Each structure stands twice: as structure tokens, then as C-alpha cells.
Amino acid sequence: MTPKLFMQAMAKFLLGVLLVGVLIFLPAGTLNFFAGWLLMAILFVPMFAAGLVMMCKNPMLLASRLNAKEKQREQDLVVKLSGLMFMAGFIVAGLGRRFDWYTLPRPAIIGAAALFLAAYLLYAEVLRENTYLSRTIEVQENQRVIDTGLYGIVRHPMYSATLLLFLAMPLVLGSVYAFLIFLAYPFIIARRIKYEEQFLAAELAGYRAYQQKVKYRLIPFFW
């Protein structure tokens, strides 16, 4: 761990907290928004804890996760579309609180929060299994194909976890309308997977054989 990495991680974390808070609470017009605070808690408290663990045990993985600048134009478009989806979804959820649009009942919101935390545990397991994970599509030095654990079930378990995380988010906020916006995510991530697999098949030794061994990309027995 270096002071520079610590400062970079803290700056991105605090910026994320501020940005999500503004996108949710400003459209809501109030801080009295239980679902908004619940999402902030289950999103950022585990994120902070995971960041501390990576900073102490695997700073190189943390550094790679902080690097979100895509080198490929196609993947840069995917990242921007995802960002637009998040902005639109959070704003709509906040507006729903302000104008009293239909919201899910409290038990459904709590259930969605439980699903979100379960998906977070799945995400943490993926990070534990694969230390080569990066937020950008690249092949790192000495990288090898991981084909055990969750990677023996689907080829992209990290995206499987984020699919659950992101679809649970608008439900935690109690917003059916925001959920409809977040339904764009499976199509966005499918596009990313298509180009990522083309890249890995060409650049990562053993990846073509792995594709033959593990048939499903994202959802077991489906796709």
C-alpha cells in the first residue's frame, strides 16, 4: 500500500458517495427518504470494507479496480451507457419519492436489500478467486485462465454478480419505474461480454479451450 493509492481510493470512494447521494436525494427534494439511505448504506459500507481488505492484502488488485478508463472505443461506449442508466434510474427513483409515484412496500424493499447483500458476497468471492480482475478489458502480465469455483459454472461470474446487484438497486429504492430503466443493463453487459470474449480469445492463452469447457457466459443453463 502506498499513500498515493490510499488517497486515490479515498477520493473515488467519497466522490461516489457524493454523486449517488446527489442523484437520489436532490430529485427527491428531501433527506427523509428511508429507501435512499438504505441503498447508500448497503452500497457503500461493504464497498469501504472491501477496499480496506484489498488495500491491505492485494493493493495491485485495488489499483486495477480503480482504473476505469477503457482503451477500446466500443467498451468506452458500454461504460458511458451504463453511467447514463445509473443517472436516469437514480433520478427517477428520487422523483418517485418527491411526487409519490407508486413505490414497493417496505417488506419488498427489505427483501431487495437482502438480495443486494447476497450479490455483494458473490462479488467478493469472484474477487477472491480471480486476482487478475480489472475494470477495463486487458490481459495482465502472467495472467492465466481461471476455470475453478464460480468460473467453472459461468465464464463471467463478476458480471453475474453485478447483474443481481444492479437489478436489485432500484427495488431497494422502491421504484418500479427505475427498475424498468435498469432492465437495460443485461443488454449493455451482453454487448460488453461479446467484445471482451473476442479480445480474450485472441490475447489470453487457453481462453478458447475454456470457452469449450464452460458453456455458459452469464446465467447457468440459459446464456
Under DSSP, is residue 175 helix (H, G, I), strand (E, B) or coil?
A: strand
pTM given for the model: 0.86
The residues, ordered by sequence, that sit 6+ positions from 222 with a Cβ below 8 Å of its Cβ are: 216
What are the residues facing 175 on neighbouring strands?
Answer: 103
Residue 119 has pLDDT above 90, yes or no: yes
| Cα angle value 189/211/161 (rounded, 5°) | 35
Average pLDDT, the chain: 87
pLDDT of residue 179: 97
Residue 134 has pLDDT above 70, yes or no: no
Residues of the chain with pLDDT > 70: what percent? 87
Kindly list the domain boundaries of the chain, sorted by start residue: 3-213
What are the residues facing 103 on neighbouring strands?
Answer: 175
pLDDT of residue 72: 61
pLDDT of residue 67: 63
Kindly report, residue by residue over 13-42, the tens digit of the pLDDT. Answer: 899 999 999 999 999 999 999 999 999 999
Residue 140 has pLDDT above 80, yes or no: no
Cα 144 to Cα 140: distance, rounded to the nearest angstrom: 9
Confidence of residue 174 (pLDDT cuts 50, 70, 90): very high
Cα 124 to Cα 92: distance, rounded to the nearest angstrom: 29
pLDDT of residue 201: 86
H helices present in 32-105, as ranges = 34-57, 59-66, 73-98
pLDDT of residue 178: 97
